[in-house]
């Protein structure tokens, strides 16, 4: 069995178009024309199916039948990717990125753990404040490290990945308050990390996409300078479990409708779920939020709400670039070592954030 030594992340970075060739996000076609109708029934891409089969083979129990403590011990999609690579005698793509652990002061618990990922080279670098997924109950930034490394190396940006405290031990509004505290701290201290405090974007996957959007809402509402861009990857922004993607993916893997009900039950009380800081799509208006990049996956209960959120943003005058990926499931973004459309999604996200950082630098 041959070993894979060439960095796949280097290949991804090479595929990213130059800043001059990336289309602008303003003045394009209406978002409705950019969004293809969801096909019936969802057909899984072969490489995505291999990951789902590997996840099944790891023998995890249904999350919705477990306590949070038990659920945190179950195998993850990231574990399935590692298993596939091991079976092929391959290694995860190497990234030329260093990392360190820090503790961010502030928030309701006074201290917020985080990991800082810094690309090789001279700064100051632009900065991405990143939030992992897991329904506010599971996982940490290490679980999502493949995504973080791809963004840091591909964009040549510092990524500060926040390990916010988890529910139900620390229920809403702990997570949005910690997210905003981390953002305010970073605006003051990015320079200490060799980062540019004026070029900060927010990003996240699933529940992390929720927190990235909430930071933008909080900054707008509290009259704090906003991030220059938000990258929302299959974001959790609503609790409408009756829409088409919930019905189509009621029994999907790795995320299904029953799991979403379980996450909601552990995160907040029903009345709290009407807050825009719990679910950003509940906001009365999305006007004046930062330019946005939104990615959705077909085999995902959260697909429809991600599409709808992109449309709402555009209707409220926010520049949006949206990309939907057929044949792949929730959590696919970090699977570039084994899933072709994950590489495409990373190229898209890297290009959009590069453009945002470079446009801001050119203006200022």
Please say if 206 is a catalytic residue: yes
pLDDT of residue 39: 44
Name every residue whose Cβ is closer than 8 Å to that of residue 65 and which is 6 or more positions away in sequence: none
Using the CB atoms, write b or e for 42-66: b if 16+ within 10 Å. bebbebbebbbebbeeeebeebeee
pLDDT of residue 37: 52
Domain at 46-363: CATH code? 3.40.50.1820
Helix axes 207-221, 174-189, angle to 10 degrees: 70
CA distances from 92 to 15, 81, 100, 182 (A): 19, 9, 20, 30
CA distances from 100 to 7, 11, 158, 159, 300 (A): 22, 25, 11, 11, 33
Contact between 284 and 276 (Cβ < 8 Å)? yes
pLDDT of residue 315: 98
Contact between 337 and 268 (Cβ < 8 Å)? no
Domain ranges of the chain: 46-363
Cα separation, 137 vs 263, in Å, equals 7
Given the residues 132, 245, 330, 337, select the one marked as catalytic.
Answer: 330
Q: How much is the CA Rg of the chain, to the nearest whole Å?
A: 19
Contact between 239 and 272 (Cβ < 8 Å)? no
Place of tokens 């630098």: 361
pTM above 0.85, yes or no: yes
Please say if 5 is a catalytic residue: no
Pairing between β-strand 230-233 and β-strand 195-205 as defined by DSSP bridges = parallel
Cα separation, 358 vs 18, in Å, equals 11
Q: Is 152 exposed, middle or buried (0-12, 13-18, 19+ CB in 10 A)?
A: buried
Mean per-residue pLDDT pooled into runs of 10, the chain (364 residues): 46 45 42 53 92 98 98 98 94 87 94 97 96 98 98 97 98 98 98 97 98 98 98 98 96 98 97 97 98 98 98 98 98 98 98 96 85
pLDDT of residue 94: 77
* 197 sits in which H/E element: strand 195-205
CB half-sphere exposure, 171, CA atoms < 13 A? 11
- Cα 339 versus chain centre, distance: 17
Place of tokens 């990213």: 16
Please say if 221 is a catalytic residue: no
Task: Please say whether the dihedral angle defined by the alpha carbons of residues 60, 273, 246 and 83, taken in this order, is positive or negative.
Answer: negative
Which SS3 state, helix, strand or coil, does residue 3 take? coil
Given the residues 141, 147, 152, 206, select the one marked as catalytic.
Answer: 206
Given the residues 163, 196, 248, 300, select the one marked as catalytic.
Answer: 300
């Amino acid at each position: 069995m041959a070993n894979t030594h060439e960095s796949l992340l280097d290949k991804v970075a090479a595929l990213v178009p130059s800043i001059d060739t990336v289309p602008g996000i303003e003045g394009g076609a209406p978002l409705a024309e950019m969004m293809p109708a969801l096909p019936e029934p969802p057909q899984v891409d072969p490489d995505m199916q291999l990951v789902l089969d590997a996840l099944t083979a790891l023998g995890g129990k249904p999350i919705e039948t477990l306590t949070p403590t038990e659920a945190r011990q179950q195998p993850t999609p990231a574990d399935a990717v590692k298993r596939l690579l091991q079976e092929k005698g391959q290694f995860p793509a190497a990234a030329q990125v260093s990392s360190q652990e820090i503790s961010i002061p502030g928030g309701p618990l006074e201290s917020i753990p985080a990991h800082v990922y810094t690309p090789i080279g001279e700064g100051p670098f632009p900065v991405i404040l990143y939030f992992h997924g897991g329904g506010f109950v599971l996982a940490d930034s290490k679980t999502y490290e493949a995504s973080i490394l791809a963004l840091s190396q591909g964009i040549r940006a510092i990524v500060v990945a926040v390990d916010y405290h988890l529910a139900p031990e620390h229920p809403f509004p702990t997570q949005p308050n910690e997210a905003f505290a981390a953002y305010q701290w970073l605006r003051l201290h990015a320079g200490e990390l060799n980062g540019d405090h004026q070029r900060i974007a927010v990003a996240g996957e699933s529940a992390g996409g929720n927190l990235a959007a909430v930071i933008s809402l909080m900054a707008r509402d509290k009259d704090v300078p906003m991030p220059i861009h938000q990258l929302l990857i299959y974001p959790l922004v609503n609790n409408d479990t009756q829409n088409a993607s919930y019905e189509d993916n009621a029994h999907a893997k790795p995320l299904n409708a029953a799991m979403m009900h379980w996450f909601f039950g552990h995160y907040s009380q029903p009345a709290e779920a009407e807050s825009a800081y719990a679910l950003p799509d509940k906001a009365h208006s999305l006007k004046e939020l930062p330019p946005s990049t939104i990615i959705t996956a077909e085999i995902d209960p959260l697909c429809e709400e991600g599409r709808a959120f992109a449309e709402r943003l555009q209707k409220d005058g926010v520049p949006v670039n949206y990309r939907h990926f057929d044949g792949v499931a929730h959590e696919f973004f970090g699977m570039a070592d084994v899933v072709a459309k994950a590489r495409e999604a990373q190229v898209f996200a890297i290009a959009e954030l590069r453009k945002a950082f470079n446009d801001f630098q050119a203006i200022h």
